[in-house]
Amino acid sequence: MLVVGGSGFLGREVLRRAVAAGWDAAATYLTRPADLPSVTWYRADLRDPGRVAQVLDRARPAAVINAAGGHADWAVTADGAVQLALAVARAGCRLVHVSSDAVFSGAAVHYREDALPDPVSRYGAAKAAAETAVRVGVPGAAVVRTSLIVGHGRSAHERAVHALVAGTRTGVLFTDDVRCPVHVDDLASVLLEITESDGSGVFHAAGPDPMNRHELGVLIARRDGLDPARLPPGLRSDVDPPGGLDIRLVTDATRARVRTRLRGAREFLGADAP
Ligand SMILES: NC(=O)c1ccc[n+]([C@@H]2O[C@H](COP(=O)([O-])OP(=O)(O)OC[C@H]3O[C@@H](n4cnc5c(N)ncnc54)[C@H](OP(=O)(O)O)[C@@H]3O)[C@@H](O)[C@H]2O)c1
């Protein structure tokens, strides 16, 4: 297995699980490889199609998971994913592509796996373009849309909560921005399960608890013994342009296809405890 973006937050968890499951694992990084024994590392920039093809030639993977993040950078998130899909099509291996709920505007609030993207942000547009390229270029590929990824204190969301409470970062947590957070362990497990299957098309891997970013921050603060009152609330609708507000991934079709149980944020952050 080759995990593109293996040095990232999600990529590392996928690699840990893949190695534990007996996969011979290779991975790419951009700035620094992760400290994971028994993984073969390649430096690769998705903006360099020659290098992407070269890594596939060397690693000769049976399956590729694209967990790379390029935010709103079109050259990485859209064009890079297209180049990777083309290289995978030439190599004839399996492709599992990680996408985002940001492909949706929020106008419909609830989005099933067969909903068509209607992005309202640069990031969402780049992720939507990548999805199309992957599905058309590699018809057997799986596209896995997910939501806010949390877990082990290592996510950007958990780190932001700690920095806001410590006063080392300024900013707000939105109260009008609803998503369905997922635990990184559950997501990594779903990705591995889908990779090991022949499932194609679109999957939704998100938790069952919709909540706004401020609520999520409060749960993280409580779990970590921090004072939630130090988390400043704010409105995404005050930002110009605001991007998607209330976006909830419906997971019914995915839950019928995978064994992994996707926990809600109230459960994995301990808010369900009596
Ligand atoms: N985090 C979330 O809440 C969230 C929500 C929805 C969807 N997603 C999606 O989930 C995936 C993983 O997210 P994440 O939070 O794990 O991201 P992350 O921690 O930021 O990791 C990004 C990975 O991509 C690599 N990368 C960055 N620029 C690259 C480039 N130009 N070429 C090749 N590799 C590059 C990074 O390498 P280095 O670290 O070595 O620089 C790193 O391995 C992404 O597709 C993201 O869109 C994330």
The domain spanning residue 24 has which CATH number? 3.40.50.720
What is the rounded distance in angstroms from the CA atom of residue 6 to the CA atom of residue 42? 10
* 138-144 average pLDDT score: 98
**Residue 242 pLDDT:** 87
Residue 49 falls within a domain, yes or no?
yes
Q: Does residue 18 register a pLDDT over 90?
A: yes
**Residue 272 pLDDT:** 72
Its pTM surpasses 0.95: yes
Are 234 and 190 part of one and the same domain?
A: no
Are 112 and 229 part of one and the same domain?
A: no
Is the separation of the CB atoms in 7 and 29 below 8 Å?
yes
**Residue 25 pLDDT:** 98
Is residue 249 exposed (0-12), middle (13-18) or buried (19+ Cβ within 10 Å)? buried
> What confidence tens digit (pLDDT) does each residue in 202-233 have?
999 999 999 999 999 999 999 999 999 999 99
CB of 29 shorter than 6 A to ligand 1: yes
What is the rounded distance in angstroms from the CA atom of residue 133 to the CA atom of residue 127? 10
Are 122 and 132 part of one and the same domain?
A: yes
CB of 124 shorter than 6 A to ligand 1: no
Cα of 25 vs its chain's centroid, Å:
19
Are 8 and 109 part of one and the same domain?
A: yes
Structural tokens at position 159 = 């780190």
Are 117 and 33 part of one and the same domain?
A: yes
Are 118 and 167 part of one and the same domain?
A: no
Count of domains observed in the chain: 2
* 127-151 average pLDDT score: 98
Locate the ligand 1 atom nearest the alpha carbon of residue 30 and give its number. Answer: 40
CB of 82 shorter than 6 A to ligand 1: no
Cα of 106 from ligand 1 centre, angstroms: 23
Residue 259 falls within a domain, yes or no?
no
- Give a three-class secondary structure readout of the chain: CEEECCCCHHHHHHHHHHHHCCCCEEEEECCCCCCCCCEEEEECCCCCHHHHHHHHHHHCCCEEEECCCCCCCHHHHHHHHHHHHHHHHHHCCEEEEEEEHHHCCCCCCEECCCCCCCCCCHHHHHHHHHHHHHHHHCCCCEEEEECCEECCCCCHHHHHHHHHHHCCCCCCEECCCEECCEEHHHHHHHHHHHHHCCCCEEEEECCCCCEEHHHHHHHHHHHCCCCHHHCCEECHHHCCCCCCCECEECCHHHHCCCCCCCCCHHHHCCCCCC
Locate the ligand 1 atom nearest the alpha carbon of residue 4 and give its number. Answer: 34
Are 157 and 144 part of one and the same domain?
A: no
211-212/178-179 β-pairing: antiparallel
Domain stops at, among 205, 220, 239: 205
45 pLDDT band, cuts 50/70/90, is very high
Are 88 and 172 part of one and the same domain?
A: no
CB of 100 shorter than 6 A to ligand 1: yes
**Residue 273 pLDDT:** 56
Phi, psi of 142 (to 5 degrees): -110, 135
Are 48 and 156 part of one and the same domain?
A: no
Are 133 and 219 part of one and the same domain?
A: no
Q: Does residue 274 register a pLDDT over 80?
A: no
Q: Does residue 249 register a pLDDT over 80?
A: yes
Are 80 and 165 part of one and the same domain?
A: no
* 178-190 average pLDDT score: 98
Locate the ligand 1 atom nearest the alpha carbon of residue 11 and give its number. Answer: 16
Range of the domain at 97: 2-149+182-205
**Residue 37 pLDDT:** 86
Are 156 and 77 part of one and the same domain?
A: no
What is the rounded distance in angstroms from the CA atom of residue 182 to the CA atom of residue 193? 16
